Amino acid sequence: MGVSTEDPTEDHTEDHTEGRMTAFDEAIAVKPSGGRRYQVRFDERFAIVAQGGAVPAAMNGGVMLAMVLRAVLDESPLPYPVATSAHFLRVPRLEPAEVEVTWLKQGRTAATARAALVQDGQAVLDTTVTTGNLPDGPPGDDERNGELTWTGEPPKLPPIEECVNLGPWPGTVGADGTAGYAAHVDLRMDPSTTGWRRADPGGVPEMRGYFGLREERDPDAYLLALAVDSLPPVVFGLGAAGWAPTVELTWYMRAVPVAGPLQVAARCRHVGGGWFDEEAEVWDAAGRLVAQSRQLARVGRSSRRRPEQQPG
Amino acid sequence: MGVSTEDPTEDHTEDHTEGRMTAFDEAIAVKPSGGRRYQVRFDERFAIVAQGGAVPAAMNGGVMLAMVLRAVLDESPLPYPVATSAHFLRVPRLEPAEVEVTWLKQGRTAATARAALVQDGQAVLDTTVTTGNLPDGPPGDDERNGELTWTGEPPKLPPIEECVNLGPWPGTVGADGTAGYAAHVDLRMDPSTTGWRRADPGGVPEMRGYFGLREERDPDAYLLALAVDSLPPVVFGLGAAGWAPTVELTWYMRAVPVAGPLQVAARCRHVGGGWFDEEAEVWDAAGRLVAQSRQLARVGRSSRRRPEQQPG
């Protein structure tokens, strides 16, 4: 959880990468500037690129969450972000910003901090993070310790080799070829959830796939923060298109993931009044539920229009 | 959404009750004290009473949420709490407290405030609330307006007359007969989720039932805040017992409910490391999904012990 006092672009992560720092770790670097403030900068490599335009439309929300978590975990008495709730307030510019951390409680089982990502004196993202301990031993440890354990059915994904390598998907590539976020992640989608790519959405708001970075990097709390909102919006399965801005996202870390690709399964329960919810689960390569999220988002402007019906 | 400047025990709600104020509306009353601060008091009628003890162990979390929402909606430019995230920090005493509201954004589609419930200078509950507009017309209005709409399968409950009238349930009645929260709500549970009352839990962490107050009162945002955490903890279905303190709860209001009993269905996806999640949906009498919640809570001390195995 250590954070250096050096330049935020320098390597100061734990040893995920055996010395080499990934673009992701560079993008979520924070630099303490005193008084529980941390300098950050938004990295265009993880920006969301608007279809048909070279100018990044927004930062990937997961990268902003991971950035905030780096600052919170820097001073947390407990090691894992068990519950993070985040309200997305404004679209940041790709310029410097600050994370401001305020501790509300530091208990034995749980510690809670507020952390705001601030640019030009305005909050871009407001979060509250509760940290705690989590199972980090082999699956089954809990049960052997006599603790109550129970897990629901895991998602059913086809083998990874039968999945669709999404690449920078339609809608994420700018007119000049810039791809941002979508070019840095490795998404292998369950083909039954990718009909929208051929303008033939399945009619069900679900997305499932294997998630990792294109660079080699083991999953941890930061990568889970990215994973919970890594798939294309579930409403693409209903024929919606375009950027679907997240308004609120809460995610729980449930166990420490093992190395290997993550499985992410997302569903929706209701779309109406311009809002939709998206619930995602992340399972690790050992078959453990390691993270859960739910978000409330706005349906993109081009809702009810299938890609082939879009003007231009 | 008006809040009077009079005594918090006086009637200042909208006309839910045709003149008569319910115990619930009294319990969630707030009194502006200037500078976006509101005086509140915790009402023992909605306290959680520990089994075998007369002293209330804690306040019902939903009542605390509703109290905070009264203060937030008092000044919100938009009418409904579409996304409320809450971290429960400390167990309050049944003494006066204050809600402090800070606006972070007031936009056209969404406005966001932080609101903390503070007692003796320490935050008891820290929330962030995003308000917005929601469908309030008859079901189907959205679709007629050409908006994207979709809803998943509703929960399957037996008819209300086949359900179990829970009454003040085991574990919620103090040694002197005090029942607090459980005596003020009317819960009619799906019998397939009540085996734990006979020390025969079903082995599945699910709870389903019809929810209302014992007093006549139509559902609104405040009652939904109570409804999302109204059922006994889902882990009772796995044989756990005892108070299961909520650490974080986020809920979304999705539509304005019509009059009539609410249906609440809760499930869990994972129990481990002393933590469990509980996801609830609330459907109104017109068959609309009106609220969704997810919480992270601690498994009670008496986990893995069925009621008959409890000492004493």
Each residue's pLDDT tens digit, B41-59? 998 888 887 665 545 568 8
| B chain contacts of residue A296, beta-carbon cutoff 8 Å | 82-83, 130, 252
For residue B252, give the nearest of A87, A150, A277 by CB distance: A277
Percent of chain B surpassing pLDDT 90: 69
For residue B149, give the nearest of A82, A152, A272 by CB distance: A272
For residue B289, give the nearest of A123, A133, A269 by CB distance: A269
Kind plus residue range of the DSSP H or E element containing B97: strand B96-106
Residue with tokens 């999945």: A163
Q: How confident is the model at residue A1 (pLDDT cuts 50, 70, 90)?
A: very low
pLDDT of residue A55: 53
B137 to chain A, closest Cα gap in Å: 11
| A chain contacts of residue B123, beta-carbon cutoff 8 Å | 104-105
A10 to chain B, closest Cα gap in Å: 33
Indicate the pairing of strand B47-49 with strand B56-59: antiparallel
Calculate the average pLDDT of chain A.
Answer: 87
3-state secondary structure of B144: helix
* Residues A241/A306, Cβ–Cβ less than 8 Å: yes
Kind plus residue range of the DSSP H or E element containing B85: strand B80-88
Cβ–Cβ below 8 Å for A254 and B277: yes
* Residues B270/B294, Cβ–Cβ less than 8 Å: no
Mean pLDDT, range A243-270, rounded to an integer: 96
Closest chain A residue to B104, measured at CA: A123
Q: In this model, does residue B165 exceed pLDDT 50?
A: yes
Closest chain B residue to A272, measured at CA: B149
The closest of A95, A79, A89 to A127, measured between CA atoms, is: A89
- Residues linked to residue A129 through DSSP beta bridges, in sequence order: A84, A113
A271 to chain B, closest Cα gap in Å: 5
Mean pLDDT, range A6-31, rounded to an integer: 68
Closest chain B residue to A89, measured at CA: B105
pLDDT of residue B12: 42
Give the distance, in angstroms, between the CA of residue A283 and the centroid of all CA atoms in the same chain.
14
A6 to chain B, closest Cα gap in Å: 31
* Residues A84/B248, Cβ–Cβ less than 8 Å: no
Distance between CA atoms of residues B166 and B183, nearest Å = 10
Q: In this model, does residue B303 exceed pLDDT 60?
A: no
| B chain contacts of residue A247, beta-carbon cutoff 8 Å | 82-83, 110, 130, 132
Cβ–Cβ below 8 Å for B248 and A126: no
Q: How confident is the model at residue B312 (pLDDT cuts 50, 70, 90)?
A: very low
Cβ–Cβ below 8 Å for A83 and B123: no
Cβ–Cβ below 8 Å for B238 and A303: no
Q: What is the dihedral of CA A196, A200, A206, A207, to 10 degrees?
A: -40
CA atoms within 13 A on the CB side of A211: 28
DSSP code of B148?
A: -
Chain A interface, mutation test: which of B125, B248, B283, most A Cβ atoms within 10 Å? Answer: B248
Indicate the pairing of strand B185-189 with strand B164-165: antiparallel
| B chain contacts of residue A268, beta-carbon cutoff 8 Å | 150, 152
Q: In this model, does residue B304 exceed pLDDT 80?
A: no
pLDDT of residue A223: 98
B1 to chain A, closest Cα gap in Å: 21
Poorest-pLDDT segment among A18-32, A258-272, A277-291: A18-32
Cβ–Cβ below 8 Å for A83 and B112: no
Query: How many degrees, rounded to 5, is the angle at CA A308 between CA A305 and CA A311?
Result: 75
pTM of the model: 0.90
- Residues linked to residue B308 through DSSP beta bridges, in sequence order: none
For residue B254, give the nearest of A87, A110, A272 by CB distance: A272
pLDDT in tens, A298-308: 998 654 433 33
pLDDT in tens, B168-212: 776 677 777 777 888 899 999 999 999 999 999 999 999 999 999
Cβ–Cβ below 8 Å for A142 and B272: yes
Cβ–Cβ below 8 Å for B255 and A248: no
Task: Look up residue A121 and give its two tokens.
Answer: 């004196």
Calculate the average pLDDT of chain B.
Answer: 87
pLDDT in tens, A163-222: 999 887 766 777 777 778 888 999 999 999 999 999 999 999 999 999 999 999 999 999
Mean pLDDT, range A49-56, rounded to an integer: 59
- Residues linked to residue A128 through DSSP beta bridges, in sequence order: A85, A114
Q: Could you give the ipTM of this predicted complex?
A: 0.90
Cβ–Cβ below 8 Å for B123 and A134: no
pLDDT in tens, B230-278: 999 999 999 998 888 999 999 999 999 999 999 999 999 999 999 999 9
Cβ–Cβ below 8 Å for A271 and B112: no
Cβ–Cβ below 8 Å for B304 and A150: no
pLDDT of residue B172: 73
Provide CB contacts within 8 A for B177, sequence distance 6+: none
Q: What is the dihedral of CA A276, A62, A227, A6, to 10 degrees?
A: -170
Cβ–Cβ below 8 Å for A268 and B150: yes
Mark B190-223 as b/e (b = at least 16 C-beta within 10 Å). beebbbbbeeebeebbbbbbbbbbebebebbbbb
Cβ–Cβ below 8 Å for B148 and A271: yes
